[in-house]
Chain A
C-alpha cells in the first residue's frame, strides 16, 4: 500500500480516485440490490437528521453480512476512497453526511437481534437494530436497554455507539459508553476486531471507550453487546413551575444537593411549553417562566420516598406549582410535551436548528439569560429544552431557510451558544456529536496539541484517514481559517456544500 498517512495539518485530497474502477469492484463484491449508484437512489442518503448539509456520494453500499462489510472496506481502501458509515441517518450533526468522492456504507440491513441472554442480562445485536427494538424484544423478560435518545424509535444501536448517545435517563443510568460491553468492528484494513467482551473489563487499553462516540472515524461496527437492566417496578414524575428561570436552575442544583439522582430531570422554558402545549395538551403551566420535570423510578417504596423528598426540595426552592403524576397515563402525558419539543418546533417554524452544548448545572440560568439576549441580537426566536440534570442544553433556534440571511444568522447564533458553553466550563456537544456541523466549534474547545493528539488517535486505527474524513476533528489548517473568519465577522461558510 502506498497511500500516505493523513496528517493533522491539512485536509486530504481525494479527487484522484478512479470512480469507475471502484464502482465495478463494488458491483462485483455485492449483490445487485446492495449497491446504489443512480442519482435518484442516492438522494435519500444525501443528508442525515441535519438536513442543512447535503452532499451526494459516489455510491451507497448496503451490505447484508459482515463479510460484505469487510469486502467493501478493502475495496475502498484499495481505491483510496473515503467511507462514511451510516445507521438510520437520524444524527443531528451531519456525521453521516456523504463525502463527494466517497462511499456511504449503510449498516441498515444488518438488523438482527442475534442473541438475548436473560440470565447474563445481555443482548448481542447487529448495528442496524433500532434502539427501541432492543427494549421491546426484552420487555417480556422484565429487562430493557437504558439509553433512550429521543430518536429511539428510529435510531440504530450502531449509530448510538458512534455518537455515545444519551437520553433523558442518562444522569442515573449512564450513556451508551456505560451500557455497552462489547463492540465487534471491522478496521479499514478489513481486519475484524473486538473491543471489550462479555466480562466487565478487557485487557489492555480501553479501546471500547475510545470506539464509543468516535463518530465512524475509527472502525465500522458490525456487532454490539448491550447490557440489559431490570425494568423499574414503578416511576412517577413531578412537574414543578417556576416564575423565574434562575430559580428553576437553582432548584436543579438543590435536588442534587439533597442526595438524589433523579431518573430524569428536564427543564423547559416558557416559549418551549407554549410551543408544545397546543400540540400535546400535556397540561403544562403556561404562566410559568420555566417548568421542571423530575422523575423517580425504582421499587414502589423507593419512589414514594424519593418523590416526597424531591417535592419538599422543589417547594423550598420556590416552585409556584407542583403536580405529581398519579397514574402511568398521566406520567406519560407530562413527558409527552418534553418529548414532542422537536416536532413542535417544526410545527411553529418552517425550520429549526437544535444545539447540544453542555454546561455545569449551576450555570443554567445564566445561559438562558444569555440566550434571551442573543435572540434579540440575531433577531431569531429560540425555545429551550434542557436535560437539566446533566447540564445538557437543547436550544432550538427557529428560522426560515427561505428568508435570505436567516440560516447564516442561525448558524452564528448557534456558534455563539457553543462558544459560551465552552466559556462556562462546558462542551460544544453533549450527545449529538461533532460531525460536520460543529467541526469549527472544536477549534474553540481544543488547542492545537489536543487536536494533534486526536488526529494521532485516528491514525492509530485508520492511518490513511479514509473513515469519515473531514468530520469530528478539524485540521489545524481549518482552525486557522476559522480563526481568521472569526475576525472577519463570524460568518461561517462552506462553499463546497449545497444549502437548503
Chain B
C-alpha cells in the first residue's frame, strides 16, 4: 500500500520546486516563515508495526500522533518524551519539530526515543536509517539528526520510536516558592534518587510530578511534603502544560523559549515566565529585540527561540557559529541538493 502516494511525493520532489512539507499543520506557527507549495503528507498514515514487548512502534509519517498514543495507551505504554499534539500533530511532524513535553528532563527528549527513520531525500530516493532495535551503531545516527531538522533534510515517511511502560503510580505535589527557591529545590531534588517526572514553576507556585513504582511514589510524597493535587485536576494540569492551553500560553504577546542550564539564576527579563524541565526550559512572554534575547540565552550557556508569534525577521533560532553553519549547509546540500524542502524554516541559509 501507499505505492502511488509515494510515487506522487517523488514526482513532486523531482520537479525541484520549493515545497512546504505538511503533516497536521499543527506547528505552522513554529520556525521561520512558511514558503513553497504545500506537500500534504498526512495521507501517508498508519501504524506499520507495534509490539509492546519490543518497546518499539513504527508508524508512517502522516499518522496522527493521537492515534499512535491511543494504540500505546491500550497496551499501557506511552511516548515518554510527551511530544505535544497541538490539536492535530502527525508523527512525522512531531519528529521533524523535535519538541518534547513536561517529562523531558527526566525521561529524555523526542530525539532520544528515535530508533529509525525512513526518509525521502531531495532526489526522491527512499533512505532507511537506524532500525527497530534499541542499540544500533551501524552507520552515522542520521535518524536522530532528522529529529528537530524541521523537514529541511527530507520528507519523513516512517519512524520507529522507543516506547515505555506507563508508570504504575503518579502523584502531583505543590509548593509555594519564589523562582530562585524553586530553582534551588528542583536542582537539589534532581540530584537525589527520587522518582521525579516533571516540574513546572509559575507565579510563585512549583508543581512537581512524581511517577514510578507505587511504593517509591508514596515514599517520595512523604519525604517531600507539599500539597497534593489529585487527579483528574493533576492529569489535566500536565496535559494542558504539554499542549500549551493554559492562560500563560494564550494571548498575543510573543512567546519565547529559553533552553538554558538548569542552574541558571532567574532570567532578569521583563514579562511573565514559566519554568519547566527542572529549570532547563523557561518560557517568556515579551515583545523584545530578538538579538537581546539570543544574547541573554547565550550568556547563560543556552539558546533562545521565538516559539510563537512576534516578529520573525530578527531570527527565530539563536545564530550558529560560522564553522557549524558551514556543516549545516553541507548537510542540507547533500540531502536536498536542489533546495526543495522547507527552505528557510530552520535558518534562512538552509
Q: How far is the CA of A458 from the CA of B193 in the complex (A)?
A: 40
- Contact across chains for B53 and A361 when beta carbons are under 8 A apart: yes
Q: How far is the CA of A123 from the CA of B55 in the complex (A)?
A: 31
A-B contact count (CB 8 A): 268
- Contact across chains for A449 and B125 when beta carbons are under 8 A apart: yes
Mark out the residues of chain B between 61 and 76 whose CB falls within 8 Å of any chain A CB in the assembled complex. Answer: 76
Mark out the residues of chain A between 418 and 474 whose CB falls within 8 Å of any chain B CB in the assembled complex. Answer: 425-434, 438, 442, 445-447, 449-450, 453-454, 456-461, 463, 472-473
Q: How far is the CA of A198 from the CA of B297 in the complex (A)?
A: 12
Is residue A55 within 8 Å, beta carbon to beta carbon, of the partner chain? no
- 8 Å CB contact of A450 from B52, B129, B281, B327: B129
A455 closest partner in B (C-beta): B334
- Contact across chains for B317 and A204 when beta carbons are under 8 A apart: yes
- Contact across chains for B327 and A460 when beta carbons are under 8 A apart: yes
B117-144 interface bits toward A, Cβ cutoff 8 Å, 1 = contact, 0 = none: 0000100011111011111111111101
Nearest Cβ in chain A — how far from B280, in angstroms? Answer: 5
Is residue B289 within 8 Å, beta carbon to beta carbon, of the partner chain? no
- 8 Å CB contact of A199 from B302, B320, B323, B331: B302
- Contact across chains for A206 and B218 when beta carbons are under 8 A apart: no
Stretch at the interface among A30-38, A56-64, A113-121, A369-377: A113-121
Q: Check A305/B135 contact, CB under 8 A, given A230-B193, A456-B335.
A: no
Q: How far is the CA of A450 from the CA of B334 in the complex (A)?
A: 12
A259 partner residues in chain B, CB cutoff 8 A? 76, 165-166, 168
Q: Check A143/B191 contact, CB under 8 A, given A260-B165, A453-B334.
A: yes
A202 closest partner in B (C-beta): B303
B149-187 interface bits toward A, Cβ cutoff 8 Å, 1 = contact, 0 = none: 100010000000000111010000000000000000001
Stretch at the interface among A71-79, A170-178, A275-283, A336-344: A170-178
Is residue A169 within 8 Å, beta carbon to beta carbon, of the partner chain? no
Q: How far is the CA of A163 from the CA of B136 in the complex (A)?
A: 10
B304 closest partner in A (C-beta): A203
B260-276 interface bits toward A, Cβ cutoff 8 Å, 1 = contact, 0 = none: 11110000000000000
Q: How far is the CA of A453 from the CA of B141 in the complex (A)?
A: 11
Stretch at the interface among A15-23, A42-50, A236-244, A295-303: A295-303
B334 partner residues in chain A, CB cutoff 8 A? 453, 456-457, 459-460
Q: How far is the CA of A190 from the CA of B53 in the complex (A)?
A: 47
Interface core residue of A187, A259, A261 (most chain B CB under 10 Å): A259
A360 partner residues in chain B, CB cutoff 8 A? 51, 54, 56, 132-133
Interface core residue of A121, A143, A204, A302 (most chain B CB under 10 Å): A204
Mark out the residues of chain A between 457 and 500 whose CB falls within 8 Å of any chain B CB in the assembled complex. Answer: 457-461, 463, 472-473
Stretch at the interface among B14-22, B209-217, B225-233: B209-217
- Contact across chains for A205 and B54 when beta carbons are under 8 A apart: no
Q: Check A193/B321 contact, CB under 8 A, given A233-B193, A426-B131.
A: yes
Is residue B88 within 8 Å, beta carbon to beta carbon, of the partner chain? no
- Contact across chains for B213 and A306 when beta carbons are under 8 A apart: yes
- Contact across chains for B303 and A199 when beta carbons are under 8 A apart: yes
A120 closest partner in B (C-beta): B263
A454 partner residues in chain B, CB cutoff 8 A? 139-140, 142
Mark out the residues of chain B between 325 and 347 whose CB falls within 8 Å of any chain A CB in the assembled complex. Answer: 325, 327-328, 330-331, 333-335, 346-347
Mark out the residues of chain A between 102 and 139 whose CB falls within 8 Å of any chain B CB in the assembled complex. Answer: 117-121
- Contact across chains for A453 and B112 when beta carbons are under 8 A apart: no
- 8 Å CB contact of B145 from A120, A141, A198, A210: A210
Q: How far is the CA of A148 from the CA of B145 in the complex (A)?
A: 25
Nearest Cβ in chain B — how far from A32, in angstroms? Answer: 32
B318 partner residues in chain A, CB cutoff 8 A? 203
Is residue B324 within 8 Å, beta carbon to beta carbon, of the partner chain? yes
Q: How far is the CA of A117 from the CA of B190 in the complex (A)?
A: 13
Q: How far is the CA of A445 from the CA of B128 in the complex (A)?
A: 10
Q: How far is the CA of A457 from the CA of B108 in the complex (A)?
A: 25
Q: How far is the CA of A171 from the CA of B321 in the complex (A)?
A: 35
- Contact across chains for A212 and B261 when beta carbons are under 8 A apart: no
Q: Check A361/B54 contact, CB under 8 A, given A200-B259, A204-B320, A430-B135.
A: yes
Please provide the 10 A-B residue pairs with the shortest distance between their CB atoms, ordered closest to farther: A301-B215, A456-B334, A209-B144, A430-B135, A199-B302, A460-B330, A259-B165, A302-B216, A390-B134, A253-B53
